[in-house]
C-alpha cells in the first residue's frame, strides 16, 4: 500500500515553527517513500478561521518548498459528509443531546481534567444529560434550548470488543476512549466537531499514516472508536515531539509563537527553517 500522509492546519492564525515541523515531517515521509502528501484545511470553526490566514499558510508552505498531491480539502466544503456520518451514529443510538454549558460542566464535574490542548482539555463531562428521557430531550430542543450532540462512549464501546491502534513511538496501544469522556460531535453553530471531521476525512482521503504532535495522542483513542462505529479504516500513527521555545513553552498561536512570516521578514531562508525544525533542508 502506498504511503499517504497529510498536513491539516486550521486557518486561525499564522503558521509557526511547530507547524513547519509537522508539515515537513509528513511531506518528507511521503516523498522518500514515493507516496502522496495531502493538504487539508480544517476550517469548521467559522468564527475563528479567516480566508487571509488560509492564503498566508498556503504561501508559507510554498515558500518552504513543500508541494502536495491533489486538491486541497476544505472541511467547510464538506458539511454534508459530516451530517451523514452523524446520522449513522444517531441511527445506532450512540449519540445524545447535551444542554449543559461549559460553566455547568465545570461546576458539576468532579472528574480530572482531560488530556491535551484546546478542546481536548478541561474537566471531563460528567454525563449530566445522558440519562434524559427522549421526551424531555425532545421538549428542550423544541423549546429552542441550545445543545450539543455527544458520543455515549460507554454505550458505543459496548458494541465492540477491545480496540487498538499502532503508534510509531509507543507501539501497539489499547484504545481507551473513556479518557476523554462523552466528547462533543456537533454543536448548534457547527454540524460537526474536530473528532468527527478528522476521523472521517482521514478515511475519505485514504490517509495511511497520520503524523501529528504527541499532544493529540489522547484524541486517537476516541477516534479509534469512531472508526469502528463508522466502519472506517484505521491508519498508522506517528505522534512526534512538541516543539518548544527557549523557556520550554509549547509553540502555539495562543502563546504568540513567532510566525514563519516574521522569520521570513527577518531575512531567514527556507533551508534555515528546515534546520531549525530539525530537518536537513
- Catalytic residue numbers, as ranges: 253
Q: Are 21 and 267 in contact (CB under 8 A)?
A: no
For residue 37, give the 3-state DSSP assignment.
strand
State the residue for C-alpha cell 512570516.
261
Residue 264's nearest CA partner among 276, 256, 247, 253 is 276
For residue 127, give the 3-state DSSP assignment.
coil
First-to-last alpha carbon distance for the chain, in angstroms, is 27
Residues whose CB falls within 8 Å of the CB of residue 170, separated by 6 or more in sequence, listed in order: 217, 239
Q: What are phi and psi of 78, to 5 degrees?
A: -130, 30
Q: Are 153 and 143 in contact (CB under 8 A)?
A: no
118-160-208-271 Cα dihedral, nearest 10 degrees:
20
Q: What is the spatial distance between Cα 146 and Cα 274, in angstroms, rounded to a whole number? A: 46
Residue 280's nearest CA partner among 59, 6, 32 is 32
Q: What is the spatial distance between Cα 173 and Cα 166, in angstroms, rounded to a whole number? A: 6
Q: Which residues of 15-51 are buried (b: 16+ CB within 10 A; e: fewer)?
A: bbbbbbbbbbbbbbbbeeeebbbbbbbbbbbeeebee
Amino acid at each position: 500500500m502506498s504511503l499517504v500522509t497529510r498536513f491539516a492546519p486550521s486557518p486561525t492564525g499564522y503558521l509557526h515553527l511547530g507547524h513547519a515541523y509537522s508539515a515537513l515531517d509528513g511531506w518528507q515521509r511521503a516523498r522518500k517513500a514515493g507516496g502522496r502528501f495531502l493538504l487539508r484545511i480544517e476550517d469548521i470553526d467559522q468564527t475563528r478561521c479567516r480566508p487571509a490566514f488560509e492564503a498566508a499558510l498556503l504561501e508559507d508552505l510554498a515558500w518552504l518548498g513543500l508541494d502536495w498531491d491533489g486538491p486541497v480539502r476544505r472541511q467547510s466544503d464538506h458539511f454534508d459528509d459530516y451530517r451523514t456520518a452523524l446520522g449513522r451514529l444517531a441511527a445506532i443510538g450512540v449519540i445524545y443531546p447535551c444542554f449543559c454549558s461549559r460553566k455547568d460542566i465545570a461546576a458539576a464535574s468532579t472528574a480530572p481534567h482531560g488530556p491535551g490542548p484546546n478542546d481536548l482539555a478541561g474537566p471531563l463531562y460528567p454525563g449530566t444529560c445522558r440519562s434524559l428521557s427522549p421526551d424531555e430531550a425532545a421538549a428542550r430542543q423544541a423549546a429552542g434550548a441550545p445543545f450539543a450532540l455527544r458520543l455515549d462512549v460507554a454505550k458505543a464501546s459496548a458494541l465492540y470488543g477491545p480496540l487498538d491502534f499502532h503508534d510509531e513511538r509507543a507501539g501497539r496501544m489499547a484504545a481507551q476512549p473513556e479518557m476523554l469522556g462523552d466528547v462533543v460531535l456537533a454543536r448548534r453553530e457547527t454540524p460537526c466537531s474536530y473528532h468527527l471531521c478528522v476521523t472521517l476525512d482521514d478515511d475519505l482521503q485514504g490517509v495511511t499514516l497520520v503524523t501529528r504532535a504527541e499532544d493529540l495522542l489522547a484524541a486517537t483513542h476516541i477516534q479509534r472508536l469512531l472508526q469502528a462505529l463508522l466502519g472506517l479504516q484505521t491508519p498508522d500513527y506517528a505522534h512526534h515531539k512538541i516543539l518548544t521555545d527557549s523557556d520550554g513553552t509549547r509553540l502555539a498561536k495562543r502563546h504568540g509563537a513567532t510566525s514563519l512570516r516574521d522569520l521570513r521578514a527577518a531575512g531567514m531562508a527556507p533551508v534555515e527553517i528546515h534546520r531549525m525544525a530539525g530537518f536537513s533542508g
